[in-house]
Amino acid sequence: GFTIQTITGDPPAPIKGQVWYNTTSNVLKGRISGAGAWASGGATNTGRDSNAGAGTRDAALSMGGRSTPHPTVTANVEFYDGSTWTEQANLNQQRQLAAGSGSQTAALCISGSYPGSGDLLTNNEEYNGTSWSEDNNVNTARRSAGSAGTSAPASLLFAGRNGGYYGNTESWNGTSWTEVNNVNTARGYISGAGSQTDAILVAGSNGANQSLFETWDGTSWTETTNINTARSSAVSAGTSTGALFYGGNVPPPTSTLTESWNGTAWTEIADLSQSRYDFAGASCTDSNTAALAVGGYPAYMTTTEEWDGAPASTVTFTSS
């Protein structure tokens, strides 16, 4: 067994799973996880898969991807305000399987491929809320890479596919890309989220689907607790202390699986309504309590789903 903490009142910042006895109210209390669910959001104007995302659940960008007629690679960009998608200024370069970072008004669209998987791009474009401009290129062209960054001038690009599977990490300071420490396991078709100093890299493939999970502390990558179900081409939201991972390529081809990270372990929770992979999220500043799924394969989806995860709460335990 273990000793339950006895304190006057409640602890100032309880964590999920913590239990204590409140001597002021003479009750046993604890901190529990909140529930969460996916709900339908507004449909995009252009159906697509292999698109990149940036921003937050209620202020998102969807950039590029593949659309009809098959397989048109597009430069199309749309804004989401939490209910409706609106057409915005297009990218300068059509691309698919690119990486996105930043906010709705200060974003990057990085690397990717055009017109096919063999034609990889080093192009890096920056959005100022009105238009896209070409910035300094990345050092290593790649597709299906991960990215992180809450603002355009402070972003990361990591891993990805370029013939083989890459472990390279590059850091953007608003002017140039610099090679920093590699991920531990090179792979592509990954999912990344977080900030330039607190990022996550989830799952992916290096010939076989992976369940590996790595966190970035601003200097190096650390392998930590694996996800429950290996998959690739999925989306994540959050940081090393709280994240969501959803969808992806799991035989048979698409998945609705959603897993939540509490800083210690992954737990399977409510599934997406629509199975999908190669889709976009708004993963840069959201967490395991707010996320977005936009577009995806198959059938160049226009559907959007919004995750609303109730935060952890303090409860009083009773005999009933």
- The per-residue pLDDT for 38 is 95
pLDDT digits (tens, 9 = 90+) for 36-57: 899 999 999 999 999 999 999 9
Residues 187-234: tens digit of each pLDDT: 999 999 999 999 999 999 999 999 999 999 999 999 999 999 999 999
CB atoms within 10 A of CB 281: 31
Tell me what the mean pLDDT of segment 87-114 comes to.
96
- Cα of first residue to Cα of last residue in the chain, in angstroms, is 22
Q: How far is CA 156 from CA 58, 104, 152, 205, 252, in A?
A: 23, 17, 10, 20, 32
Average pLDDT over the chain, rounded to an integer: 92
* Contact by Cβ (8 Å): 63, 93: no
pLDDT at residue number 41? 97
Answer for the pair 56, 285: CB distance below 8 angstroms, yes or no: yes
The reply to whether omega before 298 is within 30° of 0 (cis) is yes
Question: Two tokens at 277?
Answer: 């992979």
Residue listed under structure tokens 């977005």: 292
Average pLDDT, integer, range 150-168: 93
Q: What percentage of the chain has pLDDT greater than the value 90? A: 76
Residue 252 has pLDDT above 80, yes or no: no
Indicate if the pLDDT at residue 285 is higher than 90: no
- pLDDT attached to residue 218: 97
Please indicate whether residue 59 or residue 282 has the higher confidence score (pLDDT). 59
pLDDT digits (tens, 9 = 90+) for 108-147: 999 999 985 468 999 999 999 999 999 999 999 999 999 9
Helix or strand (DSSP H, E) at 46: none
Q: What is the pLDDT of residue 220?
A: 98
Asked if pLDDT for residue 235 goes beyond 60, the answer is yes
**Who has greater pLDDT, 318 or 150?**
150
Distance of CA 214 to the CA centre of its chain: 13
146, containing H or E segment: strand 146-151
C-alpha to C-alpha distance for 147 and 285, rounded to whole angstroms: 12
- Give the residue among 171, 170, 202 at the shortest CA–CA distance from 187: 202
Whole-number CA gyration radius for the chain: 20
Share above pLDDT 70 across residues of the chain, in percent, rounded to a whole number? 93
- Please give the pLDDT value at position 119: 87
Taking the CA atoms of residue 212, residue 217, residue 219 and residue 221 in that order, the dihedral angle to the nearest 10 degrees is: -10
What single letter denotes the amino acid at residue 285? T
* pTM of model > 0.75: yes
- The 3-state DSSP composition of the chain as helix, strand, coil percent (nearest 5) reads 0, 50, 50
